[in-house]
Amino acid sequence: TELTTVADDLAVFHHGQHVIRHENLEPNTFYTEHGIDFHTLPRPSGKLLSRIATVNDVHFGETECGRIDDLPDGPIQRTAPGETPHPVVMNAGAIHEMHELNPEVVIVKGDLTQDGTDEEFAAFREHYGSAFGDSLVVARGNHDAYRGQNEFTGDSWITVPGLAVALLDTTIPTETTGRIDPEQFDWLDAHLSAATTPVIVMGHHQQWIEGNRSDTYFGLHPDSSDELDRLVVRHRNVVAYTAGHTHRHRVRYMALSGVPSIEIGCVKDFPGTWAEYRAYEGGVMQIVHRISTPDALLWSERCRHLYSDFGIDYETYAMGSLEERCLVFPQR
């Protein structure tokens, strides 16, 4: 049995495909359930003002999970003949659960498709556009621009009661890596200067925080990453940067500002997640939910041990710790 989600009022346990929800809990309180000790999140002060939901790495069009290049090693999981394609199963589950939340905004931060084909973009629009309409805001990822496509380009400034989100297009067409251009920093600086609420900056690529500097760093270029940190130092209304791309849950902290730099796991395979953000008068909370429709759990359980032939513990890598999935952003 795994404790997958904790909020100020909620704890969710998974045992294979069995889901156990404990609701109406007290915030900032110790509990023991199913032999597991846990602590509900402290609730920020004041009223709950709004909720938003996010997903990333939804990958419409993908047919195999766990493949690295052309290597036969895996295990590689494939949708069986006659089964609904797994991106449809996983995204349908996420859409169903986000609908139940009734968020003000739904944000998709990159890798909408596997190869950026017209059919894959159409499938994404069919599912997310029809479900959320004008409340949907989208940024592209590297998989959506490997051939220089121009779908879902540009940055978006999103406001809901008590919170603003700066959604950045971090994609470099034809490349896996990411960056933020000087013009984007100017745009972001101007919006942050005018903002009167906490702000979350979001993009597809995770921020470089430590390690060797490299122009080929898998995520956001170190120069862009450093400039983002410097910008956050100047704007104390920024409470977090959140990204996808790595298919994992992880929290690190920017070197200068100390603000959390967060990665959210993918929709398409294990553990199969989406993130909720609750904006209170006194702060912002992140809650990661595992997609728990029966078909989604059946597929994501099959993907628990992807890449084990390469000596990778994907289960631990992708899930991260509970504290990296569910947290209240520090006040600045």
Taking every pair of C-alpha atoms in the chain, what is the biggest distance, in angstroms?
55
pLDDT, residue 21, reads 97
pLDDT, residue 274, reads 98
305: Cα separation from own chain's centroid: 21
Q: Under a CB-based contact definition with an 8 Å cutoff, are residues 192 and 219 in contact?
A: no
**Rounded Cα–Cα distance for residues 117 and 119 (Å):** 5
* pLDDT grade for 167, boundaries at 50, 70 and 90: very high
Dihedral angle, C-alpha 123, 250, 271, 89, nearest 10 °: -10
SS3 189: helix
Q: How many CB atoms sit inside 10 A of residue 321's CB?
A: 11
pLDDT, residue 215, reads 96
pLDDT, residue 10, reads 98
Q: Under a CB-based contact definition with an 8 Å cutoff, are residues 59 and 67 in contact?
A: no
pLDDT, residue 237, reads 98
pLDDT, residue 128, reads 98
* pLDDT grade for 64, boundaries at 50, 70 and 90: very high
How big is the chain by its Cα radius of gyration, in Å? Answer: 19
Distances (CA, A) of 105 to 133, 165, 278, 284: 10, 10, 12, 15
pLDDT digits (tens, 9 = 90+) for 293-315: 999 999 999 999 999 999 999 99
Q: Under a CB-based contact definition with an 8 Å cutoff, are residues 100 and 69 in contact?
A: no
Q: Under a CB-based contact definition with an 8 Å cutoff, are residues 326 and 116 in contact?
A: no
Distances (CA, A) of 159 to 133, 141, 166, 216, 238: 16, 22, 9, 34, 14
Handedness of CA 288, 172, 219, 311 (dihedral sign): positive
pLDDT digits (tens, 9 = 90+) for 35-54: 999 999 999 999 999 999 99
**Rounded Cα–Cα distance for residues 134 and 269 (Å):** 27
pLDDT, residue 117, reads 98
pLDDT above 90 coverage of the chain, percent: 98
pLDDT, residue 222, reads 98
Stretch 107-113: mean pLDDT: 98
User: Among candidates 250, 277, 274, 245, which has minimal Cα distance to 262?
Assistant: 250
Stretch 322-332: mean pLDDT: 96
pLDDT, residue 173, reads 97
Q: How many CB atoms sit inside 10 A of residue 25's CB?
A: 17
pLDDT, residue 224, reads 98
pLDDT, residue 74, reads 94
pLDDT, residue 46, reads 97
What is the phi/psi pair of residue 166, to 5°?
-100, 105
Edge-first strand listing for the sheet containing 283-290: 136-139, 105-109, 48-55, 273-280, 283-290, 327-328
* pLDDT grade for 141, boundaries at 50, 70 and 90: very high
pTM to 2 decimal places:
0.97
Q: Under a CB-based contact definition with an 8 Å cutoff, are residues 323 and 314 in contact?
A: no
**Rounded Cα–Cα distance for residues 283 and 320 (Å):** 23
Stretch 260-280: mean pLDDT: 98
328: Cα separation from own chain's centroid: 16
Structure-block tokens of residue 248: 């994992």
